């Protein structure tokens, strides 16, 4: 079997360090799928990326068939089958939202264009770097020849956080929980929805009191990233890498029967989310494609929260449009 080429941007960063070893060990695509890694970094971080590559060599992973390190996006994405866009411009003190979007446009636009020009026909893109949904939109807009559905953004970490918070509350295992959903943006406006989540055949929202759901569960999940930064002094890295592995693994290999997961994918207009926005939905993966789970009833409590997060995505899209980034 020909190795699958996996390109990781921001490879020398902290998520990269937690991610690359798991890809090389077979956890991204499967224990029988050989991989070639391509590490894209900016020039000051190339040396650190080389150090990580040395450590990857030192693991003697049977599935790892090669590593390339480059600061040239054209080379990095040449023939790529999977692209994990992790490197991004973080928000720094005094930076306005428009500045942040513009700085990231300067990264994700050219990377989208390089994917358009050089990637393999089956390219699948997961954007991790924040603001992930809108960065994915920018990359997608720069890649008109790649089917739009191949551009996705990560809300799987939020999904996993929600599973874990609920399991702790109900004193059950995460494996007892199915049909969790994160809606909207990977930001503090996201909406983790327990109204379709099942625990031992019952609906989770009926197993917890409304005050806990509203005042504890939703804000804890939505603000977990900030809580990790406050505790660790750095943003989530191993858990973010874990979620990236879960997202791509399920995209390629399918989601289990009877369950779904969450991913930010281009909207087809389902659930009133404007077409084209890259928003988180309940999704299944079948034959290598994400599909939005249809037919869920949305009550007014959920509607208000989905709409608020989607509105934020609309504003981000309008801002990058105004900057001519899409
Ligand atoms: N969607 C999600 O759930 C999560 C997203 N994140 C986001 O992931 C991103 C990366 O996080 P960390 O690895 O902790 O950051 P980091 O700062 O440790 O690493 C980022 C790396 O990206 C590189 N980089 C910057 N510009 C680049 C470019 N144009 N091309 C290639 N590489 C470039 C930097 O040199 C650095 O090595 C951040 O934007 C963070 O906010 C983090 C956690 C969860
Ligand atoms: O804000 C950040 O950089 C980290 C993040 O997205 C998260 O942990 O969900």
pLDDT tens for the 326 residues of the chain, in order: 899 999 999 999 999 999 999 999 999 999 999 999 999 999 999 999 999 999 999 999 999 999 999 999 999 999 999 999 999 988 888 788 788 899 999 999 999 999 999 999 999 999 999 999 999 999 999 999 999 999 999 999 999 999 999 999 999 999 999 999 999 999 999 999 999 999 999 999 999 999 999 999 999 999 999 999 999 999 999 999 999 999 999 999 999 999 999 999 999 999 999 999 999 999 999 999 999 999 999 999 999 999 999 999 999 999 999 999 99
Q: What is the pLDDT of residue 288?
A: 97
Protein residue whose Cα sits closest to atom 37 of ligand 1: 13
Catalytic (active site) residue 249:
no
Q: What is the pLDDT of residue 96?
A: 81
Q: Are 44 and 38 in contact (CB under 8 A)?
A: no
Q: What is the pLDDT of residue 90?
A: 82
Cβ-proximal residues to 317 (8 Å cutoff; 6+ apart), any chain: 134, 137, 277, 326
Protein residue whose Cα sits closest to atom 9 of ligand 1: 129
Q: What is the pLDDT of residue 296?
A: 98
Instruction: Answer yes or no: is the ipTM higher than 0.95.
Output: yes
126, 160, 219, 235, best to mutate for ligand 2 pocket (most atoms within 8 Å of CB) = 235
Residue 130 CB–ligand 2 contact under 6 Å: yes
Ligand 1 atom closest to 12 (CA): 37
Q: What is the pLDDT of residue 1?
A: 87
Which ligand ends up closest to the CA of 49? 1
Cβ-proximal residues to 89 (8 Å cutoff; 6+ apart), any chain: 100, 103, 104, 106, 107
Instruction: Determine the distance separating the centroid of ligand 1 and the alpha carbon of 90, expressed in angstroms.
Output: 7
Predicted TM-score of the model (pTM): 0.98
Instruction: Determine the distance separating the centroid of ligand 1 and the alpha carbon of 137, expressed in angstroms.
Output: 17
Strands 82-85 and 4-9: parallel
Nearest to 266 by CA among 140, 130, 163: 140
Rounded to the nearest angstrom, the gap between the alpha carbon of residue 142 and the centroid of all alpha carbons in its chain is 19
Q: What is the pLDDT of residue 255?
A: 98
Q: What is the pLDDT of residue 94?
A: 79
Q: Extract the tokens encoding 102.
A: 């513009």
Q: What is the pLDDT of residue 136?
A: 98
Instruction: Determine the distance separating the centroid of ligand 2 and the alpha carbon of 240, expressed in angstroms.
Output: 8
Residue 11 marked as a ligand binder = yes
């Amino acid at each position: 079997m020909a190795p699958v080429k996996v390109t990781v941007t921001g490879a020398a960063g902290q998520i990269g360090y937690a991610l690359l070893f798991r890809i090389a060990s077979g956890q991204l695509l499967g224990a029988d799928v050989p991989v070639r890694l391509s590490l894209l970094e900016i020039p000051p971080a190339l040396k650190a990326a080389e150090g990580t590559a040395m450590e990857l060599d030192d693991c003697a992973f049977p599935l790892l068939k090669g590593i390339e390190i480059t600061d040239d996006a054209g080379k990095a994405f040449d023939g790529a089958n999977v692209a994990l866009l992790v490197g991004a411009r973080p928000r720094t003190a005094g930076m306005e939202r428009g500045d942040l979007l513009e700085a990231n446009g300067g990264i994700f636009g050219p990377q989208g264009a390089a994917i358009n020009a050089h990637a393999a026909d089956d390219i699948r893109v997961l954007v991790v770097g924040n603001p992930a949904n809108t960065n994915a939109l920018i990359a997608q807009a720069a890649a008109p020849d790649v089917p739009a559905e191949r551009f996705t953004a990560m809300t799987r970490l939020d999904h996993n956080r929600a599973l874990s918070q609920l399991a702790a509350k109900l004193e059950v295992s995460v494996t007892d929980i199915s049909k969790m959903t994160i809606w909207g943006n990977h930001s503090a406006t996201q909406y983790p929805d327990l109204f379709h989540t099942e625990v031992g055949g019952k609906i989770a929202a009926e197993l917890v009191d409304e005050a806990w759901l509203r005042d504890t569960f939703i804000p804890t999940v939505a603000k977990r990233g900030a809580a990790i930064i406050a505790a660790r002094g750095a943003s989530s890295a191993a858990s973010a890498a874990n979620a990236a592995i879960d997202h791509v693994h399920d995209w390629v290999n399918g989601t289990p029967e009877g369950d779904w997961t969450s991913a930010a994918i281009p909207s087809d207009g389902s659930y009133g989310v404007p077409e084209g926005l890259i928003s988180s939905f309940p999704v299944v993966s079948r034959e290598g494609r994400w599909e939005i789970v249809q037919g869920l009833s949305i009550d007014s409590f959920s509607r208000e929260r989905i709409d608020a997060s989607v509105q934020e995505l609309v504003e981000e899209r309008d801002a990058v449009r105004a900057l001519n980034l899409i």
